[in-house]
Amino acid sequence: MTSVQFTPIGKRNRGKFQVLHSYSAAHLPELNTQRSLFHALKDKHLDPVEMSTFDETEHSIREDALPIAFAREIHKERNTDFENTGLGVKELESIIKSLRADNLNLRLKYKELLNSIQLDDRDIYAENLELKLRLKMMENDMRSNNGNVNTEKNDHTIKMLQKEVAQLKQDNQRLKDAREYEAQKVDDIVNKAREDNRIVEQLEKQMQHEAAKYEDEIHQLQQELSQTESKLISLQKQNDDIIKSRATERDVKSETELRNLIKENSVLTERLADSEHEVKMLSKKLQLHVGALEDGRERISQLEEKNHKLNNQLQKQSRELHDLQFSKNNDFESARNRETQRLQQQVDSLEVEISQCSKRLVEMQKKYDLANEDLSHERMHAENLEKEVNDLEAQLREVKLNQTEVSLRSVKESQDATNEMDKLRRELAEKDIDLEELEVRLVANEKRLDEVLYELKLLDEDYAKVNKINDELKDALYQANEELKELKTHDKNAESDFINELRFKVRQLQEQISDLQDEKDELIANAKEDDRLYKDNVQLVKMVEELQKSLNDLGMSSPEELTQFELNLKRDLADKNQKIKRGDEVIYKLESKLERAELDKKTLENELRLGQREVEILQEDVKALQEELRILRTKLKDSEQVLLMSDDKLLDAKAELKNWIRAEDSMQDELKRLREDLKLSQDTIKVLQEQLQGQKSSEPSPTITDYMEFQLKSTRKELTEARKSIDELKEKHASDIMLAKEDASSKEQTLQLTINDLKNKLLIKSQEHDRIVAESARLASKMSNFHGNLKIAQDYERADFLKNESIYFKQRYRDTHYRAADFEFLYNFAMDKIKKSKFKDDESVKLAKLGLYPGYVIRKEERPQLTFKTLATFVLAAVKLRRRTAQEKLRYNQLLRVKAELDATRLRLKSAL
């Protein structure tokens, strides 16, 4: 017998028998994926090391940065080669110089690091602002695209995004803290470098002080030398006096004493030679120590230069680390921390080495100063002894030269000579004591020099170690640079991968949104099928109740009967599932049709939007063309008026020309009349001449002759005047005709040109008018077509109605789905209880345990002990039911409100149709 496993209401168990489901088994994974729409963003590429906090990293850095104690055993007795004693000090001076140069570079790089940190701050703020803007845009897109998606899933997605934003802010703060910590470490390193510089400056001041002290000692020695020279002069004077006093005395005893004195003088000369040799050795040692001091200074300068270079490298490395920290994303924070710790450990160990070398250099400088002081004292003693020995040699030479004279001196002089010899012996004994003390001091100084040389050897070894560490650090810097390059390339790749991943997630969200949109569209078509499923669920509940009654009536108690009943029930349900599958296929076909219709609708909407935009553009063009047509019409009216005016002018010119023609005709008539008058006058003259000739022949009377002559004269005079007037009229008439013809031709030409221009303009304008009219007709037809399409597709109220209706049917589908899952759970629970009953198989009352007959009283049975798991499961289920009930009440009220609005809109749309 199998155990009962409680499944809360709302959970689906696909291993059990499925009573109701709106989709086929092939669609189940799709529905499951659609129900869990949003998932938490999983940062699989992150390292587990990145989960550590910055405090732990700082603690580990501080632990790794602890100074390392060096144990060194100093051997007191070692054979020392005095020929190579000055190398360590020179190397120390060179190291001090290198440390100084490194310190200077550190200061410069510290300023560069501060500038780079400020620039990185600006870059971080810009990146944060860009991320916030992108997040805001994503939230707006999600709100706009997921307006119809389940609000719980949207809230979950928004919460996850907010968590990611909070995580990014924490990472940003952690990076800021790391940057501040690195800046503090750089400040500490700079302070240490400044302290090293201060120590080096103190050593230089101390060396300068010692040099001044040596100059004072040299000046004092010069003064003592002048004093000894004055003493020598006084002794020579005394010797001359003694020789003069001894010239009168001669004694054998003085000769023997003189021999003894010569022997002692020879011994003294040998001892003096030995002391001179020792003085030469001491001077050589002093020169070696002076050379060692110069080598130490050079080594100190080299150390300063090396310290300066190391500080430069350290600053460069720290700047690169800062650049790496601000350029890398959170994916490489652990790698940067490890690299920073490793480089910081190397830097700290190098700083410890430098500090130990500085301390040793200070100790060696002190020992060197003490040795120089002892050597100066010994040198002064040696110089004094050498001067005294020289004085004694000079005195002995004078004694040897004056031996012959001494033998001839008196006894008194010999006694004085013996006294003088005793005095000289005492002085030589004192000098021997001084030489012995000098030898002891020389031995002590040699021991000190051995110790100094040993310390210098140790410094050489430390310098070799520092060189080795420097080489290792250079290698580490090279490796760090290579790793930095690799990290940069990796950073770029990771950034591109991160961007691609974000784009992929955005595409996934868009695809999910499109899937939800498709689901919304599907739910519109599945509304009737959901109602049918709901009715089937109600019928199935009734069938379960009838089944319970039938089981009781039938008295099924054997497992074979129950199994047979279960098989029959499963067969019936399988048939129903087949029907559901066929219904799902029909639904799928309808969904595909609906999708195609939706695509057609979207394309039509796009075309509609494009058409509306084109209509607006065409309307603007039509307005512009209408305005241009209005302007052309006004210009046409103006040109017509100008043409009318020109026609009027032409008519006036024609009328004026007609008047000129009439005037010309009248003038022609008058000319004809004058010609006729002239002809008559000529005829009259001819008649008169004939009469005159006849009268002459008939001899008329003088009175008639005079009268005839007078009349002839007056006629001739009138004739001449008439001719003149005729000529004047002809000239005037000809000139007037010419002027009138010229004026008429010029006016006719100008009017003809104006008429031609106006005709051309009129032709152009008429063509343009025809084109505008045709374009207006085309645009009008196109606008009519677009308006016809708008009547078909531009029903925004219907689109909103369908959208709200899809939301409503989606919620109804959700309720139906959960209700089907609940019925499935009840069915599985009932079947498990029937199979796991503790009653015997032949007892027909075992179904009463299920509560199928509430009024039936059964006998008491031993119930199993209640476990904590069962109690916790039922409590959890009760809590979930309570929460779900509270939410469902609010949803039910909201659905009623939405349904009322949909009904009102549906009635309004039907009435509009």
The length of the chain, given as a count of residues? 913
Helix (H, G, I), strand (E, B) or coil at 734: helix
pLDDT of residue 80: 42
Name the percent of the chain lying above pLDDT 70.
29
Does 868 score more than 80 pLDDT? yes
Tell me how far apart the alpha carbons of residues 97 and 204 are, in angstroms, rounded to a whole number: 11
Give me the DSSP letters along 422-479.
HHHHHHHHHHHHHHHHHHHHHHHHHHHHHHHHHHHHHHHHHHHHHHHHHHHHHHHHHH
In tens, the pLDDT along 773-826 reads 777 777 777 667 666 655 554 466 777 788 888 888 888 888 888 888 878 887
Q: Which tokens belong to 476? A: 């580490």
Distances (CA, A) of 645 to 349, 449, 640: 112, 134, 8
Q: Are 344 and 185 in contact (CB under 8 A)?
A: yes
Q: Are 192 and 355 in contact (CB under 8 A)?
A: yes
Does 425 score more than 50 pLDDT? yes
Higher pLDDT, 913 or 454: 454
Task: Establish how many alpha carbons lie within 13 A of residue 354's alpha carbon, considering only the half-sphere containing its beta carbon.
Answer: 34
Higher pLDDT, 53 or 823: 823
- Model confidence at 24, in pLDDT bands (50, 70, 90)? very low
Of the spans 1-15, 38-52, 130-144, 896-910, which averages the highest pLDDT?
A: 896-910
Reference 546, options 532, 560, 559, 565; nearest CA is 565
pLDDT of residue 158: 67
Show the CA angle centred on residue 128, arms to residues 125 and 133, nearest 5°.
125
Kindly report the number of other CB atoms within 10 A of residue 675's CB atom.
12
Give me the DSSP letters along 508-572.
HHHHHHHHHHHHHHHHHHTHHHHHHHHHHHHHHHHHHHHHHHHHHHHT--SHHHHHHHHHHHHHH
Does 630 score more than 70 pLDDT? yes
Helix (H, G, I), strand (E, B) or coil at 865: coil
End-to-end CA distance of the chain: 65
Higher pLDDT, 642 or 214: 642
pLDDT of residue 521: 64
- Model confidence at 645, in pLDDT bands (50, 70, 90)? confident
Exposed (0-12), middle (13-18) or buried (19+): which is 601, by Cβ within 10 Å?
A: middle
Helix (H, G, I), strand (E, B) or coil at 856: coil
Does 840 score more than 70 pLDDT? no
Give me the DSSP letters along 578-598.
HHHHHHHHHHHHHHHHHHHHH
Amino acid at 680: L
Higher pLDDT, 7 or 213: 213
Tell me how far apart the alpha carbons of residues 890 and 883 are, in angstroms, rounded to a whole number: 11
pLDDT of residue 841: 45
Tell me how far apart the alpha carbons of residues 514 and 598 are, in angstroms, rounded to a whole number: 12
pLDDT of residue 296: 61
Does 72 score more than 60 pLDDT? no
- Scanning the structure block, which residue is given the tokens 């950034």? 495
Q: Which tokens belong to 272? A: 């003096």
Show the CA angle centred on residue 126, arms to residues 123 and 129, nearest 5°.
150
Dihedral (CA of 155, 161, 166, 169) sign: negative
Does 384 score more than 50 pLDDT? yes
Does 275 score more than 60 pLDDT? no
pLDDT of residue 909: 78
Exposed (0-12), middle (13-18) or buried (19+): which is 21, by Cβ within 10 Å?
A: buried
Amino acid at 416: D
In tens, the pLDDT along 83-104 reads 444 445 667 777 777 787 877 7
pLDDT of residue 86: 45
In tens, the pLDDT along 617-629 reads 766 776 776 676 6
Residue 46 is classified by DSSP as S
**Strand pairing partners for 303?**
94
Show the CA angle centred on residue 672, arms to residues 669 and 673, nearest 5°.
85
Q: Are 108 and 313 in contact (CB under 8 A)?
A: no
Q: Which tokens belong to 285? A: 């040692």
Q: Which tokens belong to 630? A: 């209005």
Mean pLDDT score, 675-703? 65
Does 549 score more than 60 pLDDT? yes
Mean pLDDT, the chain, whole residue set: 65
pTM of the model: 0.22
- Scanning the structure block, which residue is given the tokens 């020169």? 287
Spell out the residues 6+ positions from residue 128 whose beta carbon is closer than 8 angstroms to its own. 172
Q: What is the CA radius of gyration of the chain?
A: 68
Q: Are 779 and 621 in contact (CB under 8 A)?
A: yes
- Model confidence at 858, in pLDDT bands (50, 70, 90)? very low
Question: Worst-scoring range by mean pLDDT, 71-75, 98-102, 173-177, 378-382?
Answer: 71-75
Q: Are 454 and 371 in contact (CB under 8 A)?
A: no
Spell out the residues 6+ positions from residue 831 whose beta carbon is closer than 8 angstroms to its own. 17, 566
Tell me how far apart the alpha carbons of residues 742 and 616 are, in angstroms, rounded to a whole number: 60
Tell me how far apart the alpha carbons of residues 80 and 457 are, in angstroms, rounded to a whole number: 9
Q: What's phi and psi for 8, nearest 5 deg?
A: -60, 160
Task: Establish how many alpha carbons lie within 13 A of residue 38's alpha carbon, considering only the half-sphere containing its beta carbon.
Answer: 21
pLDDT of residue 888: 80
